[in-house]
């Protein structure tokens, strides 16, 4: 299980690094063409939008993977024992259901039903929207790996 986690971690970090490098490179080129050459590049404007969408979706999936996502712990932090377990289970199930329905199902339908392409680069919107189900699968996989790790730790702790 740890080898799967290491592979996922490396792939996600590589994807984020590539997308961030692309953002910096395209942003720099956009600045050069706009202010130095006086004629802004239309390709980089569209590329920056697409890269920003992909970088933010991969980054949010990575935050879920590392369990460092934004959360409101007003109630969860005050509960102890069984009520804490019930609330945590409810929250985690809600996240999985939301991600499964909105990201995987909705994003998948959006990607599959898109028939047009971007105006400048002629990239199919299917490619742009495919990041929704991809990040959804990564988020759910991250939650499943977290539960497996918790179960393993509880099993090991219970044997002592």
What pLDDT tens digit does each residue of the chain (160 aa) get? Answer: 678 888 888 988 999 999 999 999 999 999 999 999 988 888 998 999 999 999 999 998 888 888 787 776 777 778 888 888 888 888 888 989 999 999 999 999 999 999 999 999 999 999 999 999 999 998 898 888 888 877 787 777 654 4
Q: What is the DSSP string of 44-76?
A: HHHHHHHHHHHHHHHHHHHHHHTT------TTT
Number of structural domains found in the chain: 1
State how far the Cα of 33 lies from the Cα of 44, in Å rounded to an integer.
Answer: 10
In this prediction, residue 160 carries a pLDDT of: 45
Q: Helix (H) and strand (E) counts for the chain?
A: 6, 0
Which residues span the domain enclosing 46? Answer: 2-158
């Amino acid at each position: 299980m740890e080898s799967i986690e290491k592979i996922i971690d490396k792939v996600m970090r590589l994807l984020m690094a590539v997308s961030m490098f692309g953002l910096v490179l395209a942003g720099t080129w956009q600045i050069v063409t706009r202010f130095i050459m006086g004629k802004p590049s239309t390709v980089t404007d569209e590329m920056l939008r697409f890269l920003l969408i992909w970088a933010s979706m991969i980054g949010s999936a990575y935050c879920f993977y590392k369990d460092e996502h934004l959360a409101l712990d007003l109630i969860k932090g005050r509960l102890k024992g069984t009520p804490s377990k019930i609330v945590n289970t409810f929250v985690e199930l809600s996240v999985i259901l939301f991600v499964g329905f909105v990201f995987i199902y909705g994003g998948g339908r959006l990607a599959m039903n898109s028939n047009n392409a971007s105006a400048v680069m002629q990239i199919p919107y299917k490619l742009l929207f495919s990041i929704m189900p991809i990040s959804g699968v990564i988020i759910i996989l991250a939650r499943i790996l977290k539960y497996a790790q918790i179960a393993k730790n509880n099993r090991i702790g219970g044997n002592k």
